[in-house]
Amino acid sequence: MWKLIPMRENNEEWIAQLNVVIEEVSGLEKIFSNEVDFLVLLSKLEGLTNKVCDDFMLYRKTVFRCIEILSRLLNDE
């Protein structure tokens, strides 16, 4: 997930990487289906595809927040 920031900064295929991340996180649904943070994480990742996140600082902040949420989910498991 962390790769999304430098990939976007360097005009690499960050959207393809974002789609991979969304697919991988979606696969955790059975494990975390009862966790509100899981839905928040998926929503934030999907939100990165929105024009609202054209602002790089908002994009960056959202990626870091997603990393934080995922870490918390994995540590609580």
Share of the chain above pLDDT 90, in %: 73
**How confident is residue 52, by pLDDT bands cut at 50, 70 and 90?**
confident
What's the one-letter identity of residue 22? Answer: I
Mean pLDDT of the chain: 91
Q: pLDDT tens-digit profile of 23-44? A: 999 988 888 878 899 999 999 9
Cβ neighbours around 72 below 10 Å, total: 13
Question: Angle at the Cα of 3 (from 71 to 66), degrees rounded to 5?
Answer: 35
Tokens 């959202």, residue located: 62
